[in-house]
Amino acid sequence: MVRHILGISGGKDSAALAIYLKNKYPQMKLEYYNTDTGCELAETELLISRLETYLGGITMLRAAAGSPEPTPFEHFLKASGNYLPSPQARWCTQKMKLAEMEKFVGDAPTISYVGIRGDEDREGYVSTKPNIQAIFPFRKNIWSVDVVNKVLSNNNIAQLLEIYTSLCDEETLSEAKKIIEKPLTKDFYYSKKTNSLLDLDTKLFNKAVFKFLKTTDYPVGKLDDFPLVDNDDILVRDDIFRILEESGVGIPDYYKPIKFEVDGKIGTYNRSRSGCYFCFFQQKIEWIWLYEQHPDLYQKAMDFEKGGYTWNQNESLADLIKPERIRQIKLDAIKKQEAKRQAGSCRLADNIGDVDEDNFCANCFI
Ligand code: SF4
């Protein structure tokens, strides 16, 4: 039997995806899970508990069960000799999240639904385990890059053409043929070919991929029926906020901008994503938010900086909160916000930062 899983990170996009799929495909037996690091903000935990009520259950996974350390993070930190994780050495995600998720899945063929939005230009986590296949329901292209590469490979042109022939009328086929028969080159690469086929007919492309996967070992290919092939919704940031608000689950409080004043100028700050309170991916202004809104957590993050290890390159958390440094960080944030305001909208959804998305780990922040 194929399992359908959805990781609840505590962020807005995975929360909205769970609500969306539950309402749109009530027949799908989705298993929701959360990998608990023990280091989330209380606001994140509140969102997860509201979602748990809405969804009717979330399996909580916690690494290092039975450890005498207070949190899984502290367990692994101790084991690594206080070596703090970083974007280059992200052992935290691997040990606390991916390993637990893969243990939860075991060897069963499994489809993992991931909430990367239609307005994001990035790929999500693609499991290295062949029995786990990622699907992205919010995007126009719901398939992962490995699947697309396989289906559109120049070696499979004849097979894809045969599948299209079996699925569509003459007129559509003659258009599809022009795209399918054109081999991939450095000018006509995978994403261009994918987009051409999606633009021609998204549902047809999905049906063709589904049929193709039936000739492979991919978990989706083992299903008799995959309702998402008939879904051509594209959901963007505004949709996410709407889904969360309409469901009553709501937006986590840490997203809500708080005003601050420096040198007579007004700016706002907020936390832009879920994840550990000390996450090294957060922006400098978010560290200041943590210092001023959750001083106890900032102190704890500071306590982890030992033996020359710091969360940020070239700057300790003690240095980051020197009054002149705080002033500078706030002024920089105000400058960015003014530029953003001049460029466009002031809606809440637009002011909630989603910067440098490519650098983030899908498992923690979606
Ligand atoms: S939220 Fe940040 S610190 Fe926590 S596991 Fe993810 S990448 Fe690591």
Instruction: Answer whether 11 contacts ligand 1 (Cβ < 6 A).
Output: no
User: What is the C-alpha separation between 152 and 183, in angstroms, rounded?
Assistant: 9
User: What is the C-alpha separation between 103 and 344, in angstroms, rounded?
Assistant: 45
Q: Rounded to the nearest whole angstrom, what is the distance from the C-alpha of residue 38 to the centroid of ligand 1?
A: 11
What residues does 60 pair with on adjacent strands?
A: 34
State residue 127's pLDDT score. Answer: 66
What residues does 268 pair with on adjacent strands?
A: 259
Q: Rounded to the nearest whole angstrom, what is the distance from the C-alpha of residue 270 to the centroid of ligand 1?
A: 18
pLDDT digits (tens, 9 = 90+) for 181-234: 999 999 999 999 999 999 999 999 999 999 999 999 999 999 999 999 999 999
Q: Rounded to the nearest whole angstrom, what is the distance from the C-alpha of residue 92 to the centroid of ligand 1?
A: 6
Q: What average pLDDT score do residues 242-268 get?
A: 95
At 279, the amino acid letter reads C
User: What is the C-alpha separation between 160 and 166, in angstroms, rounded?
Assistant: 10
Cβ(179)–Cβ(197) under 8 Å?
Answer: yes
User: What is the C-alpha separation between 241 and 264, in angstroms, rounded?
Assistant: 32
Q: Tell the residue nearest (CA) to atom 4 of ligand 1.
A: 276
Q: Tell the residue nearest (CA) to atom 1 of ligand 1.
A: 275
Instruction: Answer whether 235 contacts ligand 1 (Cβ < 6 A).
Output: no
pLDDT digits (tens, 9 = 90+) for 71-89: 999 999 999 999 999 988 9
Q: How many other C-beta atoms are found inside a 10 Å radius of the C-beta of residue 167? A: 18
Domain ranges, ordered by start, for the chain: 3-143+233-247, 147-230, 253-365
Instruction: Answer whether 276 contacts ligand 1 (Cβ < 6 A).
Output: yes
Instruction: Answer whether 85 contacts ligand 1 (Cβ < 6 A).
Output: yes
Structure letter (DSSP) for residue 95: I
Residue 12 has phi, psi (to 5 degrees) of -70, -35
Q: Tell the residue nearest (CA) to atom 3 of ligand 1.
A: 279
Whole-number CA gyration radius for the chain: 23
The third-level CATH classification (topology) of the domain covering 3-143+233-247 is: Rossmann fold (3.40.50)
- Atom index in ligand 1 nearest the CA of residue 363 equals 6
State residue 343's pLDDT score. Answer: 85
State which H helix or E strand residue 288 sits in.
Answer: helix 284-293
Cβ(332)–Cβ(320) under 8 Å?
Answer: no
User: What is the C-alpha separation between 80 and 92, in angstroms, rounded?
Assistant: 11
Residue 263 in this model has a pLDDT that exceeds 50? yes
Q: Which residues contact 46 (CB under 8 A, 6 or more apart)?
A: 252, 253
State which H helix or E strand residue 34 sits in.
Answer: strand 30-36
Q: Which two tokens stand for residue 285?
A: 């202004």
User: What is the C-alpha separation between 359 and 284, in angstroms, rounded?
Assistant: 15
Coil, helix or strand at residue 184 = coil
Q: Rounded to the nearest whole angstrom, what is the distance from the C-alpha of residue 302 to the centroid of ligand 1?
A: 16
Instruction: Answer whether 84 contacts ligand 1 (Cβ < 6 A).
Output: no
State residue 333's pLDDT score. Answer: 97
Residue 356 in this model has a pLDDT that exceeds 60? no
Coil, helix or strand at residue 36 = strand
Residue predicted with more confidence, 344 or 303: 303
User: What is the C-alpha separation between 147 and 134, in angstroms, rounded?
Assistant: 10
**Closest residue by Cα to residue 148 from 366, 343, 338, 156:** 156
The structure tokens 């009530």 sit at: 26
Instruction: Answer whether 124 contacts ligand 1 (Cβ < 6 A).
Output: no
Residue 33 backbone class (left: φ over 0; alpha: ψ -120 to 50; beta: rest): beta
Structure letter (DSSP) for residue 112: E
Q: What percent of the chain has pLDDT over 90?
A: 86
User: What is the C-alpha separation between 16 and 292, in angstroms, rounded?
Assistant: 29
Q: How many other C-beta atoms are found inside a 10 Å radius of the C-beta of residue 248? A: 10
Q: Tell the residue nearest (CA) to atom 2 of ligand 1.
A: 279
